Structure 1
Amino acid sequence: MPGSTPAAQLRRIAAVGPQLAWAVGEEARAGSSQGRALAMLWNGSAWSRTDLSHLSYAGRLNDVAGVSADAAWSVGLPAADASPLLRWDGTTWREAEFPGSGEPDVLLHSVAVGADRRAWIGGSRGGSARLLCRDGQQWRWLDPLPVAGADLYRVVLGAQGEVWVGGDRTAGSGWAGLVARWDGAWTVLPPIPGPRLSISGLHAAGPDDVWAVGTDAGVGGPPGRPGSPVLSHFDGTAWTRVEPGFGAGSLTGVAADAQGRAAWISGWDYRDQTRSTYLRRDGDAWTLVRGPLGPAPAPYLSDVTSVPGTAGFWSAGMTSPTPFPPTEAYTERLGA
């Protein structure tokens, strides 16, 4: 991707229309050391890197969400014992204050923004997973999620104004997939079992129609051993695992169509890295499809999102499965 410095990766992508989208991650990563923050902007014809040099924060950005040209938010990895919260004001990113800002036990993992501009952030404070909500000009922490050892890696908004979170929870010597709903109080869905299973993507058309995707890292194996992709559906009572069409790799994000149904899932197929990997909704089934041949020989997709006002989608990730040079940030456009 023009403007990023290897090794670079994009973690999340968000769009408000064909003329505006954001993608965030990190660049200039050296080995296992964290790189510096990367925030890209789509203006309808090209991606460009936004200037972050005026910010005190420099680490990786984990998530981004927005609903208009001057209403977008991003969160990042903790730096100097504090998690950053950034706001896009229409021309640049600015650091924002919130209750607990600068406290060493505060972590911000994920963010969503509604059409009413209310922002929801999944994180933790005081050792408990929580939502941080912005209503009007005020931020406030909501009641703790009643689950010990939980992390919230994804926040999405439901059709009825409810807020859904996905991540993982401690389970024995490993962890299980976690999905919960906030509608003034917490409802925690049954855990999605697996030795080391984490949910990274989520879509809720309703309380009886929830799709969750992620990776089960499994137990044992050589270094670099790939996990197993996880695709699960909740019908209001129980989770049903669905065969994704490949057995080694990951599923990372879910995007809905104009009717609000889960339509595309981004992923990575360890055994076929010649093109990017997706699952596409065909009626009530999911079909494994490949992205276009392009400049990335083995693209890894971290996220996918719909482009409002169109039948198209954006996906984002990196040009290889590991963030080491010469890996670059990467995006693909699907559909119209």
Structure 2
Amino acid sequence: MFRPVPVPALPPSTALADLATAGDDHAWLAGTTGVFTSRPSAPLVLSWTGTTWQHEPLPELPAPASLAGIAATAPDDVWAVGNTAGHPLVLHYDGTTWHTVTTPPITWAKAITAHHHDIHIVGTGRDTLHYDGTTWHLHHALNSTRENLTTLTTTDPHHTWAGGGGLAGAGPASYEYPVLVHWDGTRWTDHPGPRLARGHIARLAATTPDDIWLGHVRDTDGLHLHHWNGTRWTAVPSPDAPGRLSLHGIAAGWTWGVHATHNTFETRPTFHRRTGDTWTPVALPHDLDRTSAFHVGLTTTGTTTWAYLKTAAGVHVLRHTAA
């Protein structure tokens, strides 16, 4: 069962974006405050101290900004990415202070992944950013300007995958197709994904090069799941859930999203854990599984899993520890 942990009071205008961990005792939650208000939006990072979540002091920025992703390799090496004034916003925590990091420009940064000192960032365009521990480099990962990348996962400096989608055709005959590329330590190349005719890849998660989870959106009912075992891709049935299930994400051994009963617009949070070949729902505390929620997310180390969700009562952060 998930158990709640204390969270500082956050304004109703807070939008949650991503979670990152560096071991079982260190975690960071990224988001944005001032969303859909007259105030300038501002990046938000909370960190887990071992007993509670606390605000991280971030650098002052000259323009409104938002965060879209966060990644950590160690307690003193945390990266967050977002956007400000039409440029990517990259923040780095060195164990003492958060700093802004200057990078080449890309179009609307969406996701970041990190392995030791090897960092990749993708955005809504064909260009990616790569930090090799010394210098930032701009790379073309895609051939078409009608393709873009929105999700990343990595296992080591020679195995990083990025997914997204492209647009084919024109007008009423246009359609979206999935895009999957692989970084081998030197360059990006097309990677053979599951046989998907339409839609886009919305989520990637990997533990090893032979254990990759992929979430594919082909219509409006959330993710469809696929798994790579090093030899072939296999479609994985979605968890059973009452009413209408809409999955938002997948991690190694976990899925998360919302479900709604028929003829309602109430979206209740749901988290499932992989047990053998089946998905098992994980209970939520304080009747949260009966409460309408959004901004649902999760990250896991394998033994410790953090989840977040937002309800009308505010932001909730939950912790699950494997027995």
The count of aligned residue pairs is: 304
Q: For 1:21-60, list aligned pairs within 5 A.
A: 21-30=27-36, 35-52=41-58, 54-60=60-66
Matches of 1:155 and 1:212, distance apart in 2: 10
Residue matched to 1:243: 238
Determine if contact 2:151/2:202 at 8 Å carries over to the other structure. Answer: yes
| Offset from partner CA, 1:163-218 (integer Å, 9 cap, x none) | 011222224424234332221341333476476x4433212355564321254444
Q: Which has the higher contact order (CA 8 A, sep 6+)?
A: 1
Q: 1:122 maps to what in 2?
A: 122
CA contact (8 A) 1:178 1:192 kept: no
Pairwise CA distance, 1:234? 4.2
2:87 paired residue number: 82
Provide the identity percentage: 26
Contact 1:266 1:301 in 2 (8 A): no
1:94-147 deviation digits (Å, cap 9, x = unpaired): 2101123xxxx5332111111x321111236xxx52331111221112343235
Give the SS at the match of 1:202: strand
Q: Which amino acid is the alignment partner of residue 201 of structure 1?
A: R
Asked if 1:284 corresponds to 2:277, the answer is yes
- The SS at the match of 1:293 is helix
Q: Distance in 1 between matches of 2:250 and 2:223?
A: 13
Task: From 146, 154, 157, give the equivalent of 1:157.
Answer: 154
> 1:194, 1:166 → 2: CA distance?
15
Q: Is 1:7 aligned with 2:26?
A: no
Q: Which residue of 2 aligns with 1:182?
A: 183
Superposition deviation, residue 64 in structure 1: 0.2
Q: How does 1:66-215 map to 2 (within 5 A)?
A: 66-76=72-82, 78-100=83-105, 106-114=107-115, 116-123=116-123, 128-158=125-155, 161-172=158-169, 173-183=174-184, 184-185=186-187, 186-190=189-193, 193=196, 197-205=199-207, 209-213=211-215, 215=217
Paired amino acid for 2:111: S
What are the within-5 Å matches in structure 2 for residues 228-267 of structure 1?
Answer: 228-234=222-228, 236-238=231-233, 240=235, 242-246=237-241, 248-255=244-251, 262-267=252-257
| 1:74-95 C-alpha deviation (Å, 9 max, x unpaired) | 111x332212111112233221
Q: Aligned with 1:276: secondary structure? A: strand
Question: Does the 8 Å contact 1:129/1:152 carry over to 2?
Answer: yes
Compare the two structures and name the one with the higher strand fraction: 2
Q: Which amino acid aligns with 1:202?
A: L
Tell me the SS of whatever aligns to 1:330.
strand
- Between the aligned partners of 2:37 and 2:205, the Cα distance in structure 1 is 34
Q: Secondary structure at the match of 2:223?
A: strand
Equivalence for 2:3: none
Instruction: Provide the aligned C-alpha RMSD in A.
Output: 3.1
The alpha-carbon distance between structure 1 residues 335 and 205, as it changes in their structure 2 partners (threshold 3 A), is: closer
Q: Which whole-Å CA distance do the structure 1 matches of 2:94 and 2:156 have between them?
A: 27
Q: Which moved more, 1:162-171 or 1:287-296?
A: 287-296
Structure 1: gaps (5+ residues): 219-226, 256-261, 320-325
Which has the larger displacement, 5-14 or 227-236? 227-236
The offset of 1:159, in angstroms, is 5.8
Residue 315 of structure 1 aligns with an amino acid whose one-letter code is: A
In structure 2, do the counterparts of structure 1 residues 232 and 288 end up closer, same or farther at CA, with 3 Å as the change threshold?
A: farther
Taking the aligned partners of 1:143 and 1:113, their CA distance within structure 2 comes to 19
1:212/1:34 CA distance change after superposition, 3 Å: farther
Is the CA contact (8 Å cut-off) linking 2:118 and 2:157 kept in structure 1?
no
Show CA shifts across 1:14-61 (max 9, x none). 011333211111123236998432211111111112233623353221
In structure 2, what is the Cα distance between the partners aligned to 1:28 and 1:7? 5
Paired amino acid for 1:277: T
The whole-number CA distance in structure 1 between the counterparts of 2:76 and 2:63 is 20
Q: State the alpha-carbon separation in 2 of the partners of residues 141 and 26 from structure 1.
A: 26
